[in-house]
Structure 1
């Protein structure tokens, strides 16, 4: 009997953990659970699929220039540890998921350490939005790119990097088992009560910067609408931090954890207030009208503002080339502005319906209804290693 295929996966953020878990499940389905084993770095979702991570990925969820500089020694140390893990386990392929700064350092170490190890990057940097030079950097560092955007390929292929478009896993989230009534019953929320879903991000830096203005917006809304119910699905990487912060809010909110509760909450929500990121695509797929907010450190923001080549930060807004969902960025992400935008949607069912329709149209442009991305990614990985079943 031939030995199982050894697949190394490296994910450093909650969204990457989700993608990694989906890919692991698809590989087990395709090959059989006894014909593949997994090593690497990941979070709770990948642990459920059988991966034992040598450290907690929450410490690598870094955003911003100052945060990156302060965390640099830790990032280097963890990249060295990840490369050492590869040296011990001798994987047949390494898949580096999103998280540009960390996975690039891992890729460079693996390429120097094991030149013949196939390196696959899952989710490329958004070079069409900023820093196009990263395409050439990635082409020097890995052997194949699995892209989640149909428009990625030309930017990387011109640098000599083969690209396989697999689609965005956020577009294939299965809401068929989601039960809004289950969430309302569990939290003691009446069937007719409006629910504001608050999603403040999955990185500690996002919680620190985004949750305070989100909380101020919630305070204003609750003062005007005491019957408004507020639900916060907390990502596992930051759940303790979220609970600690909201404990000091003057009004009661419901913090829920776990994938089932998150999907139930999305289907139950009247409107959402979301930190920019993968979750906005999931919310749009669930049919939730939303307001998007984001804050960076002032130095990081000043630099990025000069580099970004698109006026939009939300993927479905980019696809629509329109502000389908309002984006409150930096100083615009403040309590009064948040409360005003949310209130406008709570007060106008027709506006909510119109926004949901526009979000669906944008999702169609992004590839909604296409093949399952995890399955497509699994097939691409097996093709790279010449192990197609």
Structure 2
């Protein structure tokens, strides 16, 4: 394993869902900027990692699973993909494996890779949220991998106590910039005038989220459109669920604009007046873009009952947790229903001062989370190369 021309460093990157795919692409880009042709990549990922040369042998949408019953139903398929991933590692013989987020899949993969090659360095990128629930996972991870690249500052005490080497690299969502985005371009693309309000609808990136969250979101949008015919509805969608989202939106009794293009998504994030968002990484991105939002979420009843008993924070949105209060209103499980969502959105559409106040409070919470830190992908690349004791050069 060298970077001096003898043998390129071969990095295996494994991401099982859209957010992990973005992290993997960022890390691959940062490593290539430092090592050039002295690094190659193999692994599992989606469209963004494919752009960086990581050709996945299967569609990661098969692994975007959430909830106990969904996991049980998908277990045979997930185990088949796990076997495929281990076979890929056996064939490609990487120098290091970086397992990105997706606790259920990647903790099993870590054990399988350790059995395959006890000397293969294993790195976990994104910790399980032990500060929120299931502290025991810190010790389980410490037994399974050699290094943790952490994206939350509250991770460190738990993994230090477990004896796992860990480096806080920052949250890539907090590094997202919208300098290049143009809200006028989005309005032009959908035929909206400068005065027409825009509602962003973001129903999640997993099939189970579309199935559970979208009905309530649809009801809320129907109510709002009934009251406000001029309201423009824009639905930025993750590629993992794009077909399902387009199929549902096609059945709406009014026009809505589904956005798949990444550049137009950023334009939309600046153009929207208010967002209705499924809890997840996208809430942080919306907050960075200065969009006030209402957050909704639903999962299986048994899954929710278990998580509610284990969860320590009162909220599920990261910037709400950082703020210690509901800066953005959250509607979870039975509270995630159309009438309540529509009411909170309508209040914000009608009150620019409230929108501005919420945006300012979201920014303060983001500052607590580490907004303004150097690019986490760069920090992750530095930490990985330091761990491997390889020389690195910072890109010009």
| TM-score interval (norm. to shorter) | over 0.9
TM-score, with normalisation over the residues of structure 1? 0.99
**Equivalent residue number for residue 277 of structure 1:** 280
- Say yes or no: does 1:2 pair with 2:9: no
- 1:260-312 per-residue CA deviation (whole Å, 9 max, x = no partner) reads 11111001110100000000000000000000000011111111111111101
Structure 1 residue 110 displacement after superposition = 0.4
Aligned pairs (5 A) from 1:62-77: 62-77=65-80
Aligned pairs (5 A) from 1:207-218: 207-218=210-221
- Say yes or no: does 1:21 pair with 2:25: yes
Match among 170, 194, 204 for residue 167 of structure 1: 170
Structure 1 residue 2 displacement after superposition = 1.4
Q: Which runs of 5+ in 1 are unaligned?
A: none
Structure 1 residue 251 displacement after superposition = 1.4
What is the CA RMSD across the aligned residues, in angstroms? 0.7
Aligned pairs (5 A) from 1:290-301: 290-301=293-304
TM-score, with normalisation over the residues of structure 2? 0.97
SS of the residue corresponding to residue 131 of structure 1 reads coil
- Say yes or no: does 1:243 pair with 2:246: yes
**Equivalent residue number for residue 369 of structure 1:** 372
**Equivalent residue number for residue 305 of structure 1:** 308
SS of the residue corresponding to residue 51 of structure 1 reads coil
Point out 4+ residue stretches in structure 1 off by more than 6 angstroms: none
What count of residue pairs does the alignment treat as equivalent? 388
Q: How many Å separate the matches in 2 of 1:251 and 1:304? A: 37
**Equivalent residue number for residue 31 of structure 1:** 35
Structure 1 residue 66 displacement after superposition = 0.2
- Say yes or no: does 1:119 pair with 2:141: no
Q: How many Å separate the matches in 2 of 1:80 and 1:134? A: 23
Q: How many Å separate the matches in 1 of 2:276 and 2:54? A: 33
Q: Which runs of 5+ in 2 are unaligned?
A: none
Aligned pairs (5 A) from 1:1-389: 1-32=5-36, 34-389=37-392
- 1:119-150 per-residue CA deviation (whole Å, 9 max, x = no partner) reads 00000000111111111111111110000011
SS of the residue corresponding to residue 91 of structure 1 reads coil
